């Protein structure tokens, strides 16, 4: 197994206790085996073969593309986002077992091999496009099993701070930091459907059409009803018009102004009498046409009076939904879950770790993190028992993925002996049953 024969340690407080380090036989990421079973069922191997091109020659081809991509993705799944971690993970039983049989005995890739894979091979234009396709097709496999007729799309941007001289990083006054400013598109199940890494100083809504319009076209080809939610950064007439031309409903927050407040003037004064301990909430729907709009559109206003606050809290949403005002606001407020998914991606798969100098290499790292994020999110919503299906991605990492185990090789089989903690035999069996019960995706 490649283990050095070092002397064990005997401790003073317990004369019959000895300690040894057997990294090639012991793992702390035993739960990854369940994610590997799910990715096999979803056909990740076939997607890698179809959409990634191997330009390597000679001895560089000793490790298959699928093995290298899985090592990169699963490292992030387990919280090892730094390529330097590959040096010790190459002999970790879990990372050997998630690869092909060739890696079971010889081990996974070392740091130098994995780094060149991520920063050079995957940075080739056709492979970068392939990563985007793999990510979307992986979600499509799940959609083919169970997809609602109504698809809700949440588009949002976020900040990824940088601390060096990375290409195209720039100071962003809104965030107050030097950063990248990626654009992300989610569905309401929490899957990240598309993304684009952008320089730090671009507007939040820049390149919205590159992400949103192809996804709308894709969903409508499958006969789906599409609804879009977005915050005030996307309150642009060209976005409204593009969605209306395609028959897409939307609920987009718009910034307050004097004209809007004039239309709800009767709701702004505090009601006479002793204020209630509960907020007083009122709604109003009206037609409004800004100077840059070609036609009037429906705007829903929400006014909240809170005890101890001098001025009301006011919000405006432009929409073409035919719902009561209160229902429109409730629907829009669920957009906040997209911000929670972004936060989970930053914490659970470290998608903010874009430390390469080249912009293209950082694009690759972002996509590897997003594939890891989506794979774990699919694991959560397709395979977990009901008692734990609402766990955050961070909880899944800490409680299920981080499971100790020992690898034992016999003549015919490899045995992975797992410790029972949060991942018990019963939970392990329940997850496997749910994976095996999933209908095989088409294609």
102: in domain: yes
pLDDT recorded at residue 164? 81
Banded model confidence at residue 442, pLDDT cuts 50, 70, 90: low
pLDDT for 44: 94
Same domain, 320 and 394: no
pLDDT at 2 over 50: no
Give the separation between CA 293 and CA 296, rounded to whole angstroms: 7
CB burial string 193-231: b at 16+ within 10 A, e below: bbbbbbebebebbeebeebbeebbebbeeeebebbbbbb
Q: Is residue 396 part of a domain?
A: yes
Q: Domain ends where: 270, 301, 334?
A: 334
Confidence of residue 16 (pLDDT cuts 50, 70, 90): confident
Residue 184 lies in a domain: no
The mean per-residue pLDDT over the stretch 170-177 comes to 91
Decide: helix, strand or coil at residue 305: strand
pLDDT at 441: 60
Tell me the average pLDDT across 385-411. Answer: 90
Residue 187: inside a domain: no
Q: Under a CB-based contact definition with an 8 Å cutoff, are residues 358 and 119 in contact?
A: yes
Tell me: do 32 and 118 sit in the same domain. yes
Q: How many domains does the chain have?
A: 2
> Is residue 97 scored above 80 in pLDDT?
yes
Do 121 and 27 have their domain in common? yes
What is residue 304's predicted lDDT score, i.e. its pLDDT? 93
In this predicted structure, the answer to whether residue 279 has a pLDDT above a threshold of 80 is yes
| Domain identity same for 27 and 119 | yes
pLDDT band at 366, cuts 50/70/90? very high
Give phi and psi for 118, each to the nearest 5.
-75, -40
- E strands, 162-296, where? 170-172, 177-180, 183-187, 192-196, 225-230, 249-254, 280-288
Most confident of 102-111, 143-152, 190-199: 190-199
Quote the radius of gyration of the chain (alpha carbons, Å).
Answer: 26
Identify whether residues 27 and 118 lie together within a single domain.
Answer: yes
Answer yes or no: do 381 and 306 share one domain. no
| 116 and 73 share one domain | yes
- Considering the domain architecture, whether residues 28 and 115 belong to the same structural domain is answered as yes
Cα–Cα distance between 383 and 78 in angstroms, integer?
A: 18
- What local confidence, expressed as pLDDT, does residue 23 receive? 57
Neighbouring-strand partners of residue 304: 281, 313
Whether 323 and 376 map to the same domain: the answer is: no
Helix (H, G, I), strand (E, B) or coil at 247: coil
Regarding whether 393 and 361 lie in a shared domain, the answer is yes
pLDDT reported for residue 261: 94
In a domain, 49, yes or no: yes
Question: Whole-angstrom Cα distance, residue 354 to residue 133?
Answer: 21
pLDDT reported for residue 21 = 67
CB 141 within 8 A of CB 104: no
pLDDT of residue 72: 93
Res 1 pLDDT > 50:
no
Residues in the chain: 443
DSSP 59: G
Domain contains 98: yes
Q: How far apart are CA 86 and CA 77, in angstroms?
A: 14
Tell me the residue range of the domain where 330 lies.
241-334
């Amino acid at each position: 197994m490649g283990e050095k024969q070092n002397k064990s340690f005997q401790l003073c407080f317990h004369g019959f206790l000895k300690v040894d380090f057997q990294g090639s036989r012991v793992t702390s990421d035993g739960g990854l085996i369940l994610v590997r079973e799910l990715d096999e069922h979803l056909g990740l191997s076939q997607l890698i073969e179809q959409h990634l091109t191997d330009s390597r020659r000679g001895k560089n081809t000793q490790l298959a593309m699928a093995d290298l991509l899985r090592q990169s993705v699963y490292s992030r799944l387990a919280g090892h986002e730094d390529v330097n971690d590959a040096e010790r993970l190459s002999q970790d039983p879990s990372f050997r077992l998630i690869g092909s049989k060739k890696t079971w005995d010889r081990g996974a890739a070392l740091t130098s091999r994995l780094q060149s894979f991520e920063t050079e091979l995957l940075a080739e234009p056709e492979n970068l496009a392939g990563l985007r396709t793999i990510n979307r097709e992986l979600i499509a496999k799940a959609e083919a099993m169970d997809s609602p007729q109504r698809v809700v799309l949440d588009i949002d941007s976020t900040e990824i701070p940088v601390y060096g001289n990375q290409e195209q990083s720039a100071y962003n006054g809104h965030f107050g930091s030097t950063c990248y400013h990626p654009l992300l598109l989610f569905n309401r199940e929490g899957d990240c459907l598309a993304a684009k890494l952008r320089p730090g100083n671009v507007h939040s809504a820049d390149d919205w059409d590159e992400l949103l319009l192809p996804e709308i076209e894709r969903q409508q080809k499958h006969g789906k009803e599409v609804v879009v939610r977005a915050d005030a950064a996307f309150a642009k007439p060209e976005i409204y018009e593009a969605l209306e031309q395609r028959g897409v409903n939307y609920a987009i927050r718009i910034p307050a102004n004097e004209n809007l407040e004039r239309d709800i003037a009767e709701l702004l004064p505090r009601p006479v009498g002793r204020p209630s301990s509960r907020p007083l909430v009122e709604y109003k729907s009206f037609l409004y046409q800004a100077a840059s709009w070609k036609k009037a559109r429906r705007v829903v206003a929400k006014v909240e009076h809170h005890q101890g606050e001098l001025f009301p809290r006011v919000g405006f949403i432009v929409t073409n939904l035919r719902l009561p005002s209160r229902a429109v606001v409730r629907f829009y407020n669920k957009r906040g879950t997209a911000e929670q998914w972004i936060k989970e991606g930053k914490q659970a798969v470290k998608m903010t770790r874009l430390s390469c100098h080249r912009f293209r290499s950082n694009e690759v790292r972002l996509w590897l993190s997003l594939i890891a994020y989506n794979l774990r999110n699919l694991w959560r919503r397709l395979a977990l028992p009901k008692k734990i299906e609402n766990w955050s991605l961070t909880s899944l990492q800490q409680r299920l993925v981080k499971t100790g185990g020992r690898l034992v090789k016999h003549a015919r089989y490899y045995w992975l002996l797992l410790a029972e903690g949060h991942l018990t035999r019963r939970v392990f069996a329940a997850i496997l049953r749910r994976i095996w019960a999933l209908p095989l995706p088409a294609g």
